[in-house]
Chains A and B, each alone.
Chain A
């Protein structure tokens, strides 16, 4: 009865993960698998698009925390974009803006990756 899914797209060298539905302790493993797949494929410029993410619990947040340092160690990053206000509030509540690059739009996040790559 999972209402969560991860869609894959890419824009240039940026791997976009489109999250849809509700991310909780039951569905968090799907996000974990998606991030592991990106790492395996050496696509470490990961942009999580949360436009269709309706809910996130600490189990979902925990996946981001578990992989952020590792992905950065591989020369990449996990950026998060287009969160719905009520979902952003949960990230904000736990201080995620201190740890993650959270952008308003996908376009801004993609250009942030491109600018970093050009440095």
Chain B
């Protein structure tokens, strides 16, 4: 497992999600996010990694997920890369909770949660990897000392 200071690389397995959350929480706290926003970013990254495992890799896999935390003066970005099947953004529809329950559907909420919990979600696919980037803006107090 690669744990360079701002990069965590894990196998595509849900067994490592707890470790991912701890990694994100550590970096987010150091970047100055308050506890509530740390929790939000942690969950958004969990959802992104879960989507990679379940959809890009089609289940538990030895293929890797690279999670990189990139700190900028005004924002904290988490970049998640995988080498699986790309996500079809065109085919994505926002979920309707009542319909989900009626159809006994249990998945598909991840993207919705990622969008709700962070300031920006971007996704792109290259010839070699897919990349999801979650951004949380650092809101600093203005006019103070």
Among B17, B97, B106, B117, the one with the most A-chain Cβ atoms within 10 Å of its Cβ is B106
B36 pairs with A70, CB closer than 8 A: no
Q: Chain B interface residue count: which class?
A: 20 to 34
Q: Given A58-B47, A90-B43, A98-B97, A22 and B106 touching (CB < 8 A)?
A: no
Give complex CA distance A22, B46 in Å: 12
Distance of B70 from chain A, by nearest CB (Å): 23
When distances are taken between beta carbons in the complex, the residues of chain A under 8 Å from B102 are 69
A24 pairs with B105, CB closer than 8 A: no
Q: Could you say which of A22, A70, A89, A99 contacts B98, with CB atoms under 8 Å apart? A: A99
A99 pairs with B54, CB closer than 8 A: no
B109 pairs with A58, CB closer than 8 A: yes
Give the A-B pair count, Cβ closer than 8 A. Answer: 77
Q: Could you say which of A24, A68, A70, A98 contacts B50, with CB atoms under 8 Å apart? A: A24
Q: A63 an interface residue at 8 Å Cβ cutoff?
A: yes
Q: Given A58-B110, A94-B109, A94-B113, A26 and B14 touching (CB < 8 A)?
A: yes
B104 pairs with A69, CB closer than 8 A: yes
Give complex CA distance A69, B102 in Å: 6
Q: Could you say which of A59, A66, A90 contacts B104, with CB atoms under 8 Å apart? A: A66
When distances are taken between beta carbons in the complex, the residues of chain B under 8 Å from A62 are 105-107, 109
Q: What residue in chain B is nearest A100 (Cβ atoms)? A: B101
Q: 0/1 per residue, B91-127, Cβ < 8 Å to A? A: 0000001101110111101101100110000000000
Q: 0/1 per residue, A38-78, Cβ < 8 Å to B? A: 00000000000000000101110111011111100000000
Q: B39 an interface residue at 8 Å Cβ cutoff?
A: yes
Give complex CA distance A93, B39 in Å: 13
Known: A89-B36, A94-B112. 11 other contacts (CB 8 A): A1-B15, A24-B18, A24-B46, A24-B50, A55-B21, A57-B17, A57-B50, A65-B100, A65-B101, A65-B105, A90-B43
Q: Which 3 A-B pairs have the closest CB atoms?
A: A62-B106, A26-B14, A58-B109
24 A/B residue pairs, CB under 8 Å, sorted by A: A1-B15, A24-B17, A25-B17, A26-B15, A57-B43, A57-B113, A58-B107, A58-B109, A58-B110, A58-B113, A61-B109, A62-B105, A63-B106, A65-B101, A69-B101, A69-B102, A69-B104, A86-B39, A93-B113, A93-B116, A95-B97, A96-B97, A98-B97, A98-B98
